Chains A and B, each alone.
Chain A
Amino acid sequence: MAKTALKAGARFKSTVCDTQVMVVKAPAGEFELRCGGADMVGATAPAAAGGTLDPALSGETLIGKRYVNADESLELLCTKGGKGTLSLDGVALEIKQAKQLPSSD
């Protein structure tokens, strides 16, 4: 499986559903970022040939939600929702609990 460096600001899309994400923060190094069991690709990459969504990994992504790993060293913003479950190196990502942001709007 392909390992990718995850840089803040980079955008990825699922190859098996509509999910798109943007990296908010990420640890250094290379990781397997997947959605619905299939590797995610760069957001502007040409549409990949139809992979299939793993039914066991169809936990859905929701637009606007932030997804994190256990120690929250990785944070992804879902910019488009889809059917697949996001995972990093085989471990499913969780929705980050909303916290008070320093908003002035």
Chain B
Amino acid sequence: MNISTILDMAAEAFGDRIGVVSGGQRYTYAELREAAYRAARRFKASGAAYVALLDVNSPAAPVALFGAAYAGIPYVPLNYRLTQVEINKLLARVAPAVLVTSADFSGKLEQRADIQVIDRADFLSLPEGGDELPQPEEDPRAIAVQLFTSGTTGEPKAAILRHENLMSYIVGTVEFAAAEEDDAIIVTVPPYHIAGISAVLSSTYACRRMVQMENFEAAAWLEACRENSVSNAFLVPTMLQRIVDHLVEAGSQPQLPALRALAYGGGKMPLSTIAKAMQLFPTVDFTNAYGLTETSSTIAVLGPDDHRAAAASSDPAVQRRLASVGKPGAVEIEIRDESGKVLGAEEAGLVFVRGPQVSGEYLSLGSQLDADGWFPTKDRGYLDAEGYLFLDGRADDVIVRGGENISPGEIEDVLLGHPAVADVAVVAMPDEQWGEGVAAAVVLKSGASASVAELQELVKGKLRSSRVPQAIVFKDALPYNELGKVLRRIIRQEFV
């Protein structure tokens, strides 16, 4: 079992179909496979332990991913937004390696004898190098992809995804050749993110044309969708927020008649954003996809029907599902308390997941699965009576005040309900009496005002006094990473 089978099948069944569009470049699935074969021969000849990529989206990303799979070498796409020092540290951890990169990033690299650098243009025009087809070994346990986590709490961890994990994910969630001839998906997530990996694998297996974007920008995204008659898209919440803002500011309609399906994930979606987006794109099918790097991407899905039912319902239990991440996909999910006891419906605790797509494994730390194969996601949440999963932040973000666990999410939801509040993050702050106390960083809407006392009163009225932020600071904006995750560790420093 090897993910190269995915490209083999697409090339076999729809070799003439365009697989990748990137600016003026186009690759059919047959051409993509040929380029991956050439890459595989080059990788094998190099003697490298890893195939690394340091680049924005381009055809080199799928070619390197599949080329590494044909060669039986783990593929490691690196975050090009890291600092020079961070990038070189990661490279030292994957040497000896072949590194595919472009002129934009090669200046950041320290010269090393054990890193063979290939420029993207050269990589995409490798010579044929023989007729022999690269035959990967039949080892489902072989490592397909290694992704470095963002490392917000220390050195980045190397999450491992084996061929069996990724292949199980694809076969369990996508129907082969499900796409129509004219379908196209726009790929805006960077190649180093799990969503970037799964976009390539899912789209290739569905035989759906991928339209790559180097960098996300709302107007350019709309333009690219129009130009390429894009039918499907995946966005992180910040991207959808920017598209909504752009359309609202311009007072214009999206004018994307070909767009049928819009999936989102990778962070918490504000209710106001998704509600507004559904108004702006009334005919589009929205899907919320929740997943982690360690689970080969999506593990729960809130589908289009759920979105429409929630938006149309007057039943609060159905309405609130717009804030849920949906039902488990090709996995099992359960909620446990701190002692490991499995909890029932509506009881909040820690989210555990089990299934063949779940790797739950890091390079030097080993498997994090328990004896029965469950992986602790470190997300907090609960299931409702019908099995819809609601998330409630990261376990690490929980504020422990005098022995009481306080979730930032419930306080943030209350504060966001204030008409003057545009954005908010609630974090722990050191407190002599309680160990930890509640603190909030608040962004007010332009021209609006609210006092600290007023916001504290609101929380006290809606929740209880232990939830009231003892310190509130007003900021112009909150710090987010490039994929829309709020950086709580930076906000916490405000209150030290």
Contact = CB atoms under 8 A, between A and B. Distances in A.
Contacts of B202: 103, 105
Chain A interface mostly: loop
A9 B1 contact: yes
Interface residues of B, number: 43
Nearest to B163: A9
Interface string A23-67: 010000000000000000011100000000000000000011100
The size class of the interface chain A forms with chain B is 20 to 34
Contacts of B1: 9-11, 22
Contacts of A101: 172-175, 330
A1 B327 CA distance: 44
Contacts of B203: 105
B232 interface: yes
Given A104-B289, A105-B198, A105-B208, A98 B232 contact: no
A105 B167 contact: no
A17 B8 CA distance: 18
B13 A63 contact: yes
Given A9-B1, A79-B8, A102 B330 contact: yes
Nearest to A18: B12
Contacts of A44: 135, 137-138
A77 interface: yes
Contacts of B168: 8
A11 B135 CA distance: 13
A102 B173 contact: yes
Interface in B368-424: none
B176 A103 contact: no
Contacts of B206: 105
B270 interface: no
Interface in A55-105: 63-65, 77, 79-80, 98, 101-105
B172 A63 contact: no
B164 to A, nearest CB: 5
A101 B331 CA distance: 12
A43 B291 CA distance: 32
Contacts of A102: 172-173, 298, 301, 327-330
A2 B182 CA distance: 45
Given A9-B140, A44-B135, A79-B9, A104 B298 contact: yes
- Which of B138, B168, B327 has the most CB atoms of chain A within a 10 A radius of its CB? B138
Q: Which 7 A-B pairs have the closest CB atoms?
A: A64-B176, A102-B329, A104-B289, A105-B202, A9-B1, A9-B140, A104-B298
Interface of B: 1, 5, 8-9, 12-13, 135, 137-138, 140, 164, 167-168, 171-178, 185, 198-199, 202-203, 206, 208, 232, 234, 263, 265, 287, 289, 291, 297-298, 301, 327-330, 356
Given A105-B174, A105-B203, 17 more contacts: A8-B168, A9-B164, A22-B167, A22-B171, A42-B138, A44-B137, A64-B9, A64-B13, A77-B171, A79-B9, A98-B175, A101-B175, A102-B327, A103-B174, A103-B175, A104-B289, A105-B263
Interface of A: 8-11, 22, 24, 42-44, 63-65, 77, 79-80, 98, 101-105
